[in-house]
Chains A and B, each alone.
Chain A
Amino acid sequence: MASNEDGVFDRWEVINRKIKIDLGSYQKIPSSAISTAQMANYLAQFQTIKNSCDRIVAAVEDVSDLWPTVKELFEQHQPLKRAVLTNKTRNPVLVENLPVEFILTTDARLRSRFPHEQYLYWFREPYATIVLVTCEDLDEFKNILKPRLKLIVQNDEKEWFIVFVSKAHPSNDQATKNAKKVYAKLEVDFSSKKRERCCKLDIHGPDANFWEDLELKITECIRNTLERRVQFYEDEIRKLTEQRFMPIWNFCNFFILKESLAFIFEIAHLHEDALREYDELELCYLETGSFPTPVSLSSISVALTIHVNMPGKQREFGGFDSEDDQAALLKPGSKPLTQMVHDDSFREFDFRQYLFACQSRLLFKLNRPFEVSSRGYSFVISFAKALTFHESVLPFCLREVWVLTACLALLDATASHHHDGVVAPDIEKEFYRLQGDLYSLSRLKFMRLGYLIGYGTDIEKSPLNSACLSMLPWPKPAVWPSLPPDASSEVLEKEKTLLQATSRTKHFGIQRKPLPLEPSVLLRVANRRRASLSTGNISEIFDGRPGFTEGSGLEASPRTPSSLKVQAAPMSRTNSSPGNFESPLDRPMRLAEIFVAAEHALRLTISDHDLLKTLSSVQDFEHKYLNLTKGAAENYHRSWWKRHGVVLDGEIAAVCFKHGKYDLAANSYEKVCALYAGERWQDLLAEVLPNLAECQKILNDQAGYMSSCVRLLSLDKSLFSSKERQAFQSEVVNIAHSEMKNPVPLDVSSLITFSGNTGPPLQLSDGDPGNLSVTVWSGFPDDITLDSLSLTLVATNNTDEGGQALKSSAATVLKPGRNTITFDLPPQKPGSYVLGVVTGQIGRLRFRSHSFSKGGPGETDDFMSYEKPTRPILKVAKPRALVDLSAAVSSALLINEAQWIGVIVRPINYSLKGAILHIDTGPGLKIEDSYGIEMESYMETDCDAGATKAEVSVEDSHVSPKRDSEVLNLCEGKIVFSEWASNVSSILWVPVRALSEKLARGSSSVTPLKQDILEGMRTVALKLEFGVHHNQIFERTIAAHFTDPFDVTTRVANKCNDGTLVLQVMLHSLVKANLIVLDAWLDLQDGFVHGKSDGRPTSTFFPLVVSPGSRAAVVFSISIEKTMPSGKDLQLPESILNIKYEIHGDRAAGAHNPVDAADHSVADAERRDLVFKSAIVLQRPVLDPCLTVGFLPLPSDGLRVGKLITMQWRVERLKELKGSESVEKQHDEVLYEVNANSENWMIAGRKRGYVSLSEEQGSRVVISILCVPLVAGYVRPPQLGLPNVEEANVSSNPPGPHLVCVLPPLLSSSYCVPVK
């Protein structure tokens, strides 16, 4: 110890020798006498001086008694507006508004000091010396003033400059001149090239520059002085630092030097540098201290080194003074430095707080409250550790109280210094986070204190509080406070409140083991600590255990065998009556006693009355607790830490709930639930959600309440017992069936999920209804009856159109788990459909579920289950041909005979079960009702040959068991299909008869047959109704062609000399069947008679077989009747050809034997022969020509399409007209008419008109007309007719129809280049 003191002294000697001053009386003091008391004196002096000095001092050497005159002026120009100083790293720093105090050198404050003190407290010494002079006489200056000034400025330690004050009035020229002279002389004597040391103040003259000049000069002096002093201190500090680990080292010296330096910086407004000094000081203190626990700023290795270097030496910690429980970490002056010193070292408790206070003061000056917060929080944490280490010797709960007050002090100070928007948003958020942390920490400590005095029952056993409190070890005083002697009434009262406090049962009868708020059983801990005083107690075992594990928060767990023992022994004692123990000291305290004892102890610890008051009653406790919680929550909300904020909101809600502010509680709980639900923390949600539900129930928020119940039900099943889940369900059902005014909509997506059945989607054709079966998963624990249930389908191709709702029939009972519900599906539009939404009703509750499940409701935590399934549940095909009706036969059938018309019914992947076919024949066609309609299966792949086989099978399979053919009866124009025809193509044979009154006409080479397609065309309108509900309708009109068997062409083959004409009749078969001509005869018209025979050709030709498409001919010989009867009694205008025939055809190919003829019931003999009649026109030759028409030859170059030609006919009168009635009126005029096929010819000119033709024989006229041929080929030219003249009187040349050749048009050369 002595050596150490010597060291201190030596150190100071070094300092003093260097600066060559006399230590004076201090040298005479024996070194050993500089004890702690001395040190304390130093410190006391140091602190006093420091406190008395708050700004830079400039000394004023008032040589000429001017100061009273100029003092005011000088002080007016304070502080220095802009001073450029140098910081520790020799960089210029601009300091604004630096205050400077002017003190006369004769002032007691400067004069009365011992020289050595000047260096000890250098910061208070003047930084500049201003010499004030005035003189108007040069001689006086030279002789008196100058030597005096030289004396003053000879000390080069000083930074000085001279202010020459001119009192001369501007009007006094002489005086002004003198003053100028003297000032000039002064400058010559004292200023140097290097440095200007003089400036001049005209009291009466305006001189603005002077003050700037003065400021510059003062600044220069300050800067120089500052540099020098800093340099000095730094050197000293460096030397001391090097000796840091030597035994002689003394921290106090170091501290005074360091703090002086810091203070020098501080008064020079170089706060950054000052802060750095304090930081270094703290570091050094922590490094040289002897801390068994590593602290934040020092590494473990250094701590160990120090420990080795200073064996057995340990600082006193401190913390025993009154009001030490109130953190002084922001009040540097709370305690004089002398009180912090003990045994030549600083007490850690006080000194670290002092350092932090200095740092934070500078930080506030630097306007960095954020940094105060952040440093403060770390400081509190690390300091709390130090307190923990010394806890056994500190007052009861001092640590808790200190942390609490420290946090509150920090919060107070930083909040008042913080202004929003000043710093970057990031920093601001961080600041609020730190505020939140500080609030949380103080809240935690406050709860701990509250618990210790018995308010534990008022603390919500939430996860947050449990996490805080149950992991925080109990205070570990050396001895647990014992019960004061007169506290029995308090104990009784406490016990009463403890008994009254029943733990609130949760809503729905949820029973959970409450979360612990204590790290271990308080009763045991307290009794053990107390009992450790007595000897021979079992509890000594526990005191032998390391304290660290004791506080691990897990002591209560029966993991270690020792814990097991612990639990057994003290617990039994607790339950036993006090009478078991004789001595009251040994009797374990009951819980109420512990609380009362703790309360008493705390009253001793806590010096702050406000804090005491907050702990004095439950109401005050709760009030403070709420304030702290709110503070934490608000600040966290402003920071990044939203979760912290929301969770704290939940704590506020719990308090609100307790006080009946259910709406506030519900709001906050909603937020907490939303947070947990959003991130699917179901365990935590299960803790909060019942509280929310309870609020909602009390508030009569039925919708919210039901929603909460549903949410509870949809949580993981393991979180609640089945009984609890049943309670949730019964709540839902009860509310739903209660008297609610309005139906309540509710989303139960999380509870009721649904999915389509696996496998391919249901496929329907357009317009078909169906049944859709859907799997619905119920998350309800019991069966639940739904009043209704409906399902919407959403078309995938058309999202904007709301899906159609399918209703399930009547009430549905959903079992827990999987249910299959079948919906009736009305016809849907084509497209593919996915499941939309399930809606339903339970009482007044309208629920909706949007949730699709893949496997079941167990996947509610699966994100993907909320996605819409892409798999369609239903596919409705686009309208397509479902069936095809077509005519089986395209070739012609026999007209006027009963024929089978075949209709092929071809289903296209669609069942025709129960289909109804309506048959409606068009005009000219009728169904032969007397015959049934034959239906048989139809082989599509087969060709005609196959069809033939089919027909064969028809004949012997009427009663075939295969049932692929049958006879159906037409009933009211419709037939019903049989079962067997549902899916196979079938053919229907309908017996019909086409009616035609018209007689077939033969054609000759003169009048060719005009084929009229429509002539034999008949239609059958078919309408097929099919589908499940006959909803599908297919309509088709099929055409059938009917025709006569033959086309008859006649020509006169030969003209015999005897006047017999050989008439050749060609029969052209028009049907696809073999026709067998059995007989043919001719009924001749008037004017013709049969030749040799009786009008029949030679009968040996018959029967004549005419194959399909082939021709046959029969020849008749006829002759012209000589005597032509008069026109009035003509019997036959035309000849009739009669042909008796048979037909051998297949109905699958075309014309066939008529139905009635083929009827098996009719005997062969009675078979009706088929007779075909055709009219033939025979024309008598022209026997009496009057006029002749001759077609004049055409030009030799031929006709060409598009080329204009002139057609010419010559009309010549062959004989004179005499009384012929036909030419009675206009004898000299002939009516002509040009007939031409307009498709072939374009005619220009009069087509019809009169030409004059004299009555005389041989008169002639040429009729010409312009024509353009329109088509190429052999065409019939226009014909000239004479309508007014009977055909018998006109002879034509050529006599019959003839053809002309029309060439195709020439190639157009317009776009062709001729090739040569």
Chain B
Amino acid sequence: MIVCVAVVGHQNNPLYIQSFTEAEDALKLHHIVHCSLDVIDERVNNPSKSGTTMNEAFLGLLYPALNYKVYGYLTNTKVKFIMVTSDLDVRDTDVRSFFRKFHAAYVDAVSNPFHVPGKKITSRTFSESVTNIVSSYSFN
């Protein structure tokens, strides 16, 4: 299951972070998301090395960790979407479609004329739609 999704601004500041665990351990997910920015930075700064075409927003699996997986997605405006899942058997296509929906929800949220770009997203509608998207994806 997806345990955390986050939107990180182009200056690597958190814009939205939502964890889906019941325990009070959101902080560790903050940590995971924050550290995964290292990987995104590395991929963005060394496009030649990573080999992936930077034309694609989906960054793929960021961490081949033992116990969880972190996926990244980079929009054209250098806003990053990060998703942490505890499922270890995940298909890329599923993650891609998840991010596409998430991106759409994000675009809706920031298109709100009352939203100030670069500020945290506090929209409840966004939160709800994210929760819906997350609950519709169970990678098993």
Pick the contact of B31 from A426, A464, A680 — CB < 8 Å?
A: A464
Contacts of B32 in A (CB 8 A): 467
Is B104 an interface position by the 8 A CB rule?
no
Pick the contact of B38 from A426, A430, A641, A676 — CB < 8 Å?
A: A641
Q: How far is the CA of A513 from the CA of B25 in the complex (A)?
A: 9
Q: How far is the CA of A680 from the CA of B41 in the complex (A)?
A: 17
The answer on a CB contact under 8 Å between A463 and B41 is no
Is A942 an interface position by the 8 A CB rule?
no
Cβ of A966 to closest chain B Cβ, rounded Å: 60
Task: Bits for A552-595, please: 1 = Cβ < 8 Å to B, else 0.
Answer: 11101111000000000000000000000000000000000000
Contacts of B31 in A (CB 8 A): 463-464, 466-467, 647, 684
Q: When A and B form their complex, what is the total count of cross-chain residue pairs whose Cβ atoms lie within 8 Å?
A: 110
Q: How far is the CA of A513 from the CA of B27 in the complex (A)?
A: 11
Cβ of B82 to closest chain A Cβ, rounded Å: 13
Query: Known contacts A647-B31, A684-B34: does B66 contact A472 (CB below 8 Å)?
Result: yes
Query: Known contacts A467-B29, A471-B68: does B119 contact A861 (CB below 8 Å)?
Result: yes
Contacts of A433 in B (CB 8 A): 42
Contacts of A864 in B (CB 8 A): 118
Q: How far is the CA of A688 from the CA of B68 in the complex (A)?
A: 24
Task: Bits for A453-466, please: 1 = Cβ < 8 Å to B, else 0.
Answer: 00000000001101
**Interface residues of A, count at CB 8 A:** 46
- Chain A to chain B contacts (Cβ below 8 Å), 11 pairs: A426-B49, A463-B30, A464-B28, A467-B29, A468-B67, A516-B23, A554-B23, A643-B37, A644-B35, A680-B14, A862-B118
Query: Known contacts A463-B28, A464-B31, A466-B28: does B66 contact A681 (CB below 8 Å)?
Result: no
The answer on a CB contact under 8 Å between B3 and A554 is yes
Binding site for B on A (CB under 8 A): 377-378, 381, 384, 426, 430, 433, 441, 444, 463-464, 466-468, 470-473, 513, 515-516, 552-554, 556-559, 640-644, 647, 676, 679-681, 683-684, 687, 859, 861-864
Q: How far is the CA of A681 from the CA of B12 in the complex (A)?
A: 9
Pick the contact of A644 from B13, B14, B17, B38 — CB < 8 Å?
A: B38
Tell me the residues in window 44-83 of chain B with beta carbons closer than 8 Å to chain A beta carbons: 45-46, 49, 64, 66-68
Cβ of B33 to closest chain A Cβ, rounded Å: 9
The answer on a CB contact under 8 Å between B34 and A381 is no
The answer on a CB contact under 8 Å between A679 and B13 is yes
Contacts of B120 in A (CB 8 A): 861
Is B11 an interface position by the 8 A CB rule?
yes
The answer on a CB contact under 8 Å between B34 and A553 is no
Q: How far is the CA of A641 from the CA of B12 in the complex (A)?
A: 14
Q: How far is the CA of A1053 from the CA of B108 in the complex (A)?
A: 108
The answer on a CB contact under 8 Å between A516 and B66 is no
The answer on a CB contact under 8 Å between B41 and A640 is yes
CB closest residue in chain A, given B31: A463
Q: How far is the CA of A471 from the CA of B85 in the complex (A)?
A: 10
Contacts of B27 in A (CB 8 A): 463, 466, 515, 683-684, 687
**A-B complex: 3 closest residue pairs judged by Cβ atoms:** A463-B31, A557-B22, A467-B28
Interface residues of B toward A: which range?
A: 35 or more
Q: How far is the CA of A552 from the CA of B21 in the complex (A)?
A: 11
Contacts of A378 in B (CB 8 A): 64
The answer on a CB contact under 8 Å between B30 and A683 is yes
Query: Given known contacts A515-B28, A647-B31, what 4 new A-B pairs fall within 8 Å (CB)?
Result: A466-B28, A553-B68, A643-B35, A861-B13
Query: Known contacts A687-B27, A861-B119: does B86 contact A553 (CB below 8 Å)?
Result: yes
The answer on a CB contact under 8 Å between A679 and B34 is yes
Contacts of B3 in A (CB 8 A): 554
Contacts of B25 in A (CB 8 A): 466, 470, 515-516
Pick the contact of A426 from B13, B26, B46 — CB < 8 Å?
A: B46
Contacts of A558 in B (CB 8 A): 22
Q: How far is the CA of A381 from the CA of B68 in the complex (A)?
A: 12
Is B105 an interface position by the 8 A CB rule?
no
Cβ of A525 to closest chain B Cβ, rounded Å: 16
Contacts of B35 in A (CB 8 A): 464, 641, 643-644, 647
Cβ of A104 to closest chain B Cβ, rounded Å: 54
The answer on a CB contact under 8 Å between B118 and A643 is no
The answer on a CB contact under 8 Å between B66 and A556 is no
Pick the contact of B45 from A381, A430, A640, A680 — CB < 8 Å?
A: A640
Contacts of B12 in A (CB 8 A): 679
Contacts of A641 in B (CB 8 A): 35, 38-39, 42
Q: How far is the CA of A558 from the CA of B22 in the complex (A)?
A: 8
Pick the contact of A680 from B13, B49, B116 — CB < 8 Å?
A: B13
Task: Bits for B94-137, please: 1 = Cβ < 8 Å to A, else 0.
Answer: 00000000000000000000001011100000000000000000
Contacts of B46 in A (CB 8 A): 426, 640
Cβ of A1122 to closest chain B Cβ, rounded Å: 114
CB closest residue in chain A, given B3: A554
CB closest residue in chain B, given A471: B67
The answer on a CB contact under 8 Å between A559 and B22 is yes
CB closest residue in chain B, given A687: B27
CB closest residue in chain A, given B29: A467
The answer on a CB contact under 8 Å between B118 and A556 is no
Q: How far is the CA of A426 from the CA of B21 in the complex (A)?
A: 38
Q: How far is the CA of A444 from the CA of B65 in the complex (A)?
A: 11
The answer on a CB contact under 8 Å between A556 and B38 is no
Cβ of A378 to closest chain B Cβ, rounded Å: 7
The answer on a CB contact under 8 Å between B66 and A381 is yes
Q: How far is the CA of A554 from the CA of B17 in the complex (A)?
A: 19
Q: How far is the CA of A864 from the CA of B3 in the complex (A)?
A: 32
